Structure 1
Amino acid sequence: MKIPEISFVAPVGTPAGVEVLSLAELRRRIPGEQLAIPQRPEFHHLLTLTGGSLRHMVDFTAYTLEPGAWLWIRPGQVNQWSDLTHAEGTLILFQQSFLTPATVTTARIDDPHAAVLHHPLPSDAAALHRATDHLTAEFHAFGHLPLDVHTAALRHLLSVLVLRLAHLTAPADAPATEPDPTYLRFRDAVEHDFTRTRRVEDYANTLGYSARTLSRATLTSAGIGAKEFIDRRVVLEAKRLLAHSDQAAARIADRLGFASATHFNKYFHQRTGQTPIAFRDATRARHTGN
């Protein structure tokens, strides 16, 4: 079983790039057994509950949501819905391109390595609730304003919400300046090529930097060296495939660019302390209660 990749499709008659719907509408639209299949969306999910409870898995971690809680799932992260029968709330889907470049930068929306945002009860819950209500009302008021005005209003209202949510996860000592462009180029190159090469020297040659420059930029911006950055991305993808697909370790090794399953097993064990199969078994046992 492969992990299906889901593209954003705007509902007919709505601006492209954003959708706001209730969990009740989601239940009506998509069968529960289809939602329960692990999937890798190519767009952002903002999920908040107003009633009931929900257990939602992102990558290989289960999050429990109660009323007032928020969960932000980013493109590329593998998520899996549980039973929605007893959960009520709002789901906001959006593409990065819907927001302005300034909002994308400030809220780190373009960072593929940003952590999953999960807040059981944010301190500014009232402000987040108001922002969600305003966004929902505007989304469902399609046709009341000219399309360009309606779209601009949605963009501004969504920006308010994502900026507030991003602020909740910003480290207290996070630098106020924008990330180093060298690091951003390296980060994007790794995201594109980590299944092809794990050598810092290859990225340095492609980008026109020295390996030392890449390591220095990555250490300053991400807190780890360039090689560690690459390895963490490879291990993350390996864990996603092990936890959410039934592919054999040999097949996963091939997908990640390893010469053999033996090399993959050794690489994974050195960096996690577990063999790939032991990780898969432990993860599935943890989430099934066995």
Structure 2
Amino acid sequence: MKENGQTGAGHGAAGIAARRTATAIPAVVYRPTPGRPPGLEVLDPLELAARAAERGRPLTDPGRPAFHLIVAVREGRLECSVDFTTYVLRPGDWLWVWPGQVLQFPHGPGKCGATVLVFPTGFPSAATDALIRDAEYIPYRLVTPDPARQTALLGLLDALVEEHAGLGDLTLEAYIETLRDLLSVILIRLVHLADPRRRTRTGGGKPFDLFRRAVEDGFGRTHRVEDYAAELGYSPRTLTRATRAALGCGAKRYIDDRVLLEAKRLLIHTSLAPAAISERIGFAYPTVFSAFFRQHTGMTPTGFRRLTRA
């Protein structure tokens, strides 16, 4: 159910003007519902739109959530863009958006019947986090389970919705743990449905986990595997083996992919000049950035921006 599409700012003159004057992709922080314990929000698309409007950041504008967002569509149709892919969600589809991705609903919430789960990275248990961690790098997020698995997943989701509404029936500790456990089963099942190879993948372990975090923090300063190896106390070869075990590619490829992703995000969603983007993502000279971008995409940064905004 994945359809290729353009990712951009909201439709209409206001959305186009905002896109052209932006110098950064707005971050959307996690804010729990007042009066409820933090950790998990259960919403529908209209409630999600209302919260976005309260913050002055409508769903039709691109934003970078600092939390996980899962959409399970039950009826109707919902269109959204995640980074550079447009998804048209229909009944039976589940979409998982990870923190830091650029999310946009070009037509708002529409008339879709869906359950939306919002939770920060720290809410799932450490054991669940270890099981789902590498899923952040699966290149697709849309899952359409077969009928039997769909029935099981919707049963879990219904139980989660019911327990979430039952605040007060349990002690606060038991209530949070119940939500955490039900969510964990859903997350683990979605990961394995999205990437069945994980059943046999060994993963990169602690070296890769530390490496990916270091790259996330440092790709704007350095693109050298040797620099991250020195920072973390591993050899470049160890980081390359760990990255290959987790993702099937080497450490240098992983760094380059992360840099390229950020370059595309900034070219599409901001008005920053390519020279400014070059500096922001760690290139000493714009010409080096242009050569890097052309090598990986076959286009110049300016040509890519022109094409995606056509």
Asked if Structure 1 and Structure 2 have the same fold, meaning a TM-score greater than 0.5 normalized by the shorter chain, the answer is yes
Q: Does 1:233 align with 2:288?
A: no
SS in 2 for 1:266: helix
SS in 2 for 1:35: coil
Pick one of 162, 169, 179 that aligns with 2:204.
Answer: 179
Aligned to 1:133: 158
Which stretch shifts more, 70-79 or 167-176?
167-176
Aligned to 2:14: none
Deviation at 1:3, TM superposition (A): 0.6
One-letter amino acid of the counterpart of residue 230, structure 1? I
Q: Does 1:245 align with 2:270?
A: yes
Aligned to 2:73: 49
Cα–Cα, structure 1 residues 245 and 151, in superposed 2: closer, same or farther, change >3 Å? same
SS in 2 for 1:246: coil
Cα–Cα, structure 1 residues 178 and 223, in superposed 2: closer, same or farther, change >3 Å? closer
Aligned to 2:82: 58
One-letter amino acid of the counterpart of residue 10, structure 1? P
Q: Does 1:146 align with 2:168?
A: no
Question: Residues of 2 paired with 1:121 and 1:280: CA distance?
Answer: 35
Which stretch shifts more, 249-258 or 176-185?
176-185
Aligned to 2:25: 3
SS in 1 for 2:116: strand
Aligned to 2:296: 271
Q: For the Cα contact (< 8 Å) 1:69–1:122, is it kept in 2?
A: no
Aligned to 2:95: 71
Cα–Cα, structure 1 residues 173 and 38, in superposed 2: closer, same or farther, change >3 Å? closer
Deviation at 1:78, TM superposition (A): 0.6
Identity across the alignment (%): 43
Normalised to the residue count of structure 2, the TM-score between the two structures is: 0.85
Deviation at 1:141, TM superposition (A): 1.5
Question: Residues of 2 paired with 1:138 and 1:5: CA distance?
Answer: 30
Q: For the Cα contact (< 8 Å) 2:201–2:245, is it kept in 1?
A: no
Q: For the Cα contact (< 8 Å) 1:128–1:161, is it kept in 2?
A: yes
Cα–Cα, structure 1 residues 222 and 29, in superposed 2: closer, same or farther, change >3 Å? closer
Identify which of structures 1 and 2 has the higher relative contact order when contacts are C-alpha pairs closer than 8 Å and 6+ apart: 2
SS in 2 for 1:92: strand
Question: Residues of 1 paired with 2:152 and 2:235: CA distance?
Answer: 46
Deviation at 1:121, TM superposition (A): 4.8
Q: Any idea what the Cα deviations from partners look like across 1:4-36, whole Å, max 9, x if unmatched?
A: 111111101222121001113223444497111
SS in 1 for 2:200: coil
Deviation at 1:235, TM superposition (A): 0.4
Pick one of 287, 301, 304 that aligns with 1:262.
Answer: 287
Q: Does 1:16 align with 2:41?
A: no
Q: Any idea what the Cα deviations from partners look like across 1:48-106, whole Å, max 9, x if unmatched?
A: 11221111100011011011111000001111012222222111001121111111111
Which stretch shifts more, 119-128 or 270-279?
119-128
Q: Does 1:166 align with 2:186?
A: no
One-letter amino acid of the counterpart of residue 276, structure 2? R
Which stretch shifts more, 84-93 or 57-66?
84-93
SS in 2 for 1:34: coil
Aligned to 1:25: 47
Question: Residues of 2 paired with 1:37 and 1:187: CA distance?
Answer: 28
Q: For the Cα contact (< 8 Å) 1:44–1:96, is it kept in 2?
A: yes
Question: Residues of 2 paired with 1:274 and 1:174: CA distance?
Answer: 37
Deviation at 1:112, TM superposition (A): 4.2
SS in 1 for 2:156: helix
Which stretch shifts more, 111-120 or 88-97?
111-120
SS in 2 for 1:96: coil
Deviation at 1:189, TM superposition (A): 1.3
Normalised to the residue count of structure 1, the TM-score between the two structures is: 0.91
Q: Any idea what the Cα deviations from partners look like across 1:211-264, whole Å, max 9, x if unmatched?
A: 223223322332112211111110011111112222221221111111222221
One-letter amino acid of the counterpart of residue 34, structure 1? P
Q: Does 1:102 align with 2:96?
A: no
- Runs of 5+ unmatched residues, structure 2: 1-21
One-letter amino acid of the counterpart of residue 19, structure 1? E
Aligned residues: 284
Which stretch shifts more, 214-223 or 227-236?
214-223
Q: For the Cα contact (< 8 Å) 2:140–2:194, is it kept in 1?
A: no
Question: Residues of 2 paired with 1:232 and 1:174: CA distance?
Answer: 25
Question: Residues of 2 paired with 1:272 and 1:16: CA distance?
Answer: 42
Cα–Cα, structure 1 residues 74 and 183, in superposed 2: closer, same or farther, change >3 Å? same
Q: For the Cα contact (< 8 Å) 1:253–1:264, is it kept in 2?
A: yes
Question: Residues of 2 paired with 1:89 and 1:235: CA distance?
Answer: 33
